[in-house]
């Protein structure tokens, strides 16, 4: 990933989505490209056209916080996009290119014990690339298709979504899962554009998946701290789960835990999933635990009249 290209394409994509009318500017004649012109962004940000053109060519070196504030207002960036712009500017700063402190490849034992204590909620820990580094028993049962697809390697959300056809059956809303995953990778690329593992992952997905390439070109960024996700689990059927994400700031990792609405059909199905998970080998130690397999005898799931994928 070329940093200057990241900057250029991000600013260009944000400029293209704002019409002169939305910005309160007059519109004269036919426009060859959608959105604002460079001169109009410069006017809104209170900088010269030459200076903004330099920024959009990918040169954010030395840009001040005041200019970043002005650009964020002119381009109507949300909080996550503003943070992404700050990350891009920080990476363009003076001095030698230094990678951020690399997140660990394994979780600390205290974090694994915390996961294991969460017996009623599926939970896992991942890094900014979407690698699933640790789970609890119910988390392994929930993500059994993705863990199986990894074939003993570290499971990765993006690889499963874009390179494994089973993901379209597993995710109740595949398009949203794909959009969210790429947006998370874009945010990580802004934070650490020199992460070799991330560069390799993006290169692999860009080469092998047209769906990934189309989404990567949008330069959308997003962080998901709370929300809801629909699953179509091969053992218990449809699950509509809420989630909370907690930053493990000491490690640069994220812990994600799922829950259900009390009294819902998904709550019953999650109990069935927990019952199935306890029949599996759960010997201590994350790496040597046998992963759930689809062909193992599942419990009987309750009937439901809900349509798959219907989380608003």
What CATH number should be reported for the domain holding residue 186? 3.30.450.180
Residues near 214 by beta carbon (within 8 Å), at least 6 away in sequence: none
Mean pLDDT of 62-67: 93
If asked whether residues 22 and 129 sit together in one domain, one would say no
- Please report the pLDDT score of residue 307 as a whole number: 39
If asked whether residues 85 and 125 sit together in one domain, one would say no
Q: Quick check: is 310 in a domain?
A: no
CATH number, residue 39 = 1.10.260.40
CA angle centred on 159, ends 307 and 86, rounded to 5°: 100
If asked whether residues 48 and 138 sit together in one domain, one would say no
Q: Cα 290 from chain centroid?
A: 27
Query: How crowded is residue 287: how many other Cβ atoms within 10 Å of its Cβ?
Result: 7
Query: How crowded is residue 19: how many other Cβ atoms within 10 Å of its Cβ?
Result: 13
Question: Comparing 32 with 72, which gets the higher pLDDT?
Answer: 72
Contact 193, 1 (CB under 8 A): yes
If asked whether residues 273 and 163 sit together in one domain, one would say yes
Q: How many domains does the chain have?
A: 2
State how far the Cα of 210 lies from the Cα of 117, in Å rounded to an integer: 41
Query: Given a cut of 50, is residue 303 above it in pLDDT?
Result: no
* Residues in a beta bridge with 135: 124
Calculate what percentage of the chain has a pLDDT beyond 90.
Answer: 74
Q: Quick check: is 66 in a domain?
A: yes
Domain boundary among 21, 56, 91: 91
If asked whether residues 143 and 27 sit together in one domain, one would say no
Where in the sequence is the domain holding 8, given as residue range(s)?
3-91
Mean pLDDT of 49-56: 96
Residues near 184 by beta carbon (within 8 Å), at least 6 away in sequence: 128, 130, 222, 223, 224
State whether the Cα torsion 121-242-211-82 is positive or negative. negative
Q: Quick check: is 161 in a domain?
A: yes
- Please report the pLDDT score of residue 78 as a whole number: 93
If asked whether residues 132 and 269 sit together in one domain, one would say yes
If asked whether residues 120 and 262 sit together in one domain, one would say yes
192 CB-contact burial (10 Å; exposed 0-12 / middle 13-18 / buried 19+): buried
State how far the Cα of 212 lies from the Cα of 221, in Å rounded to an integer: 14
* Residues in a beta bridge with 246: 255
Q: Cα 243 from chain centroid?
A: 14
Q: What is the pLDDT of residues 74-121, one digit of tens each?
A: 999 999 999 999 999 998 876 544 455 667 788 999 999 999 999 999
Query: How crowded is residue 109: how many other Cβ atoms within 10 Å of its Cβ?
Result: 9
> Which residue reads 């392994």 in tokens?
140
Q: What is the pLDDT of residues 163-212, one digit of tens each?
A: 999 999 999 999 999 999 999 999 999 999 889 999 999 999 999 999 99
Pairing between β-strand 237-248 and β-strand 226-233 as defined by DSSP bridges? antiparallel
Output the pTM of the full model: 0.81
Q: Quick check: is 97 in a domain?
A: no
Q: Quick check: is 285 in a domain?
A: no
């Amino acid at each position: 990933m070329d940093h200057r290209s990241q900057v250029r394409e991000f600013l260009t994509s944000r400029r293209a989505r704002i019409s002169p009318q939305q910005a309160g500017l007059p519109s004269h004649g036919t426009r060859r490209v959608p959105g604002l012109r460079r001169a109009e962004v410069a006017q809104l940000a209170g900088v010269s056209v030459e200076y903004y053109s330099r920024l959009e060519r990918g040169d954010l070196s030395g840009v001040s916080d005041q200019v970043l504030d002005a650009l964020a207002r002119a381009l109507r960036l949300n909080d996550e996009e503003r943070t992404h712009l700050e990350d891009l500017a920080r990476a363009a700063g003076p001095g030698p290119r230094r990678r951020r402190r690399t997140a660990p490849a394994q979780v600390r034992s205290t974090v694994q014990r915390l996961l294991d204590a969460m017996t009623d909620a599926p939970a896992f820990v991942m890094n900014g690339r979407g690698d699933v580094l640790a789970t609890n028993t119910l988390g392994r049962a929930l993500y059994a298709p993705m863990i199986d697809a990894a074939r003993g390697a570290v499971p990765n959300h993006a690889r499963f979504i874009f390179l494994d056809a089973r993901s379209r059956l597993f995710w109740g809303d595949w398009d949203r899962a794909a959009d969210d995953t790429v947006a998370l990778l874009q945010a990580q690329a802004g934070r650490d554009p020199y992460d070799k593992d991330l560069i390799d992952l993006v290169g692999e997905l860009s080469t092998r998946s047209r769906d990934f390439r189309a989404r990567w070109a949008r330069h959308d960024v997003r962080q998901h701290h709370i929300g809801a996700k629909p699953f179509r689990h091969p053992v218990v059927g449809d699950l509509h789960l809420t989630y909370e994400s907690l930053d493990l700031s000491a490690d640069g990792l994220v812990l994600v835990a799922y829950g259900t609405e009390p009294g819902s059909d998904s709550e019953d199905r999650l109990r069935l999933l927990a019952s199935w998970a306890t029949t599996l080998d759960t010997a201590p130690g994350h790496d040597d635990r046998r992963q759930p397999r689809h062909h193992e005898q599942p419990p009987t799931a309750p009937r439901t009249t809900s349509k798959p994928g219907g989380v608003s």
